[in-house]
Amino acid sequence: MCIDGSHEVVGVRSNCGYRPAPSPRDPNVKVRFRTSLHNTVCDVMSSLDGWEETDSEMDWDLHWADVGWIREYYDLVQPKLHEHQRLNHFKNHYELTRKDLLIKNLKRMKKQQAKTYGNDLLVLSIGGRREVGVAAADFWSLTFVLPMEYGMFLEEFKRYPGAMWIMKPIGKAQGKGIFLFEKLSQISDWKKDHTWKSDGLQAKTSDTYIVQKYIQNPYTIGGAHVVNRACD
């Protein structure tokens, strides 16, 4: 349906313009993909009708690259890309995919929007309430990076006795290293396991974690946890 309410008919001129009928896919045209990840990613693309793998440096339609390749070659390759070519990562993607950097950028976004727009920022309906301005940007739970922000976390922890918290390593995926806790004694055990120094700093051999106030009633689809990811 068009914006003016008229119905758009495929292959027919309507009030919102002409939309040509789609032509059937040419079976002789192949989608050429390149990847160094010979796992499920490669298996799925290889199984698609009309898709074929290539090891060409630049003659491909889709390059499913690993993060190391993106870090080393993105700046060299990007200016040479044609309109139809796609990469699976964008530059500095880790600013969104690494958990500590994601929360850093969310907090920075909130400060910038509050400074620029004040209470005229935006209006959202949250749980039946209308939130205006900076309050509308609070769509993530309380989050701290450990061990650097342990002191701030401790203050918030004491404000919510009996609350559940969740720990996540900043650079892992698929639920690895994640655990729940509701007592500081459980954190003390974790600190020992992860070689914290007496001054509150973490040894270089240990992973940095984020800690978040656990959302007891999250939005789900079919009762399952949902992850949304965006790319350009």
| Predicted pLDDT at 137 | 61
Average pLDDT of 84-95? Answer: 86
Highest mean pLDDT among 66-80, 104-118, 191-205: 66-80
Provide the whole-model pTM.
0.60
Residue 49 sits at the vertex; the CA angle it makes with 48 and 52, to the nearest 5 degrees, is 75
pLDDT tens, residue by residue, 32-42: 999 988 888 89
CATH of domain 141-195+204-231: 3.30.1490.20
Closest CA to 101 of 109, 112, 90, 89: 109
Measured CA to CA, the distance from residue 200 to residue 146 in angstroms comes to 9
Q: How confident is the model over 152-169, as pLDDT tens digits?
A: 999 999 999 999 999 998
> What is residue 13's predicted lDDT score, i.e. its pLDDT?
37
Mean pLDDT of all residues belonging to the chain: 75
**Domain-wise residue ranges, the chain:** 31-91, 93-139, 141-195+204-231
* For residues 41-59, average pLDDT: 91
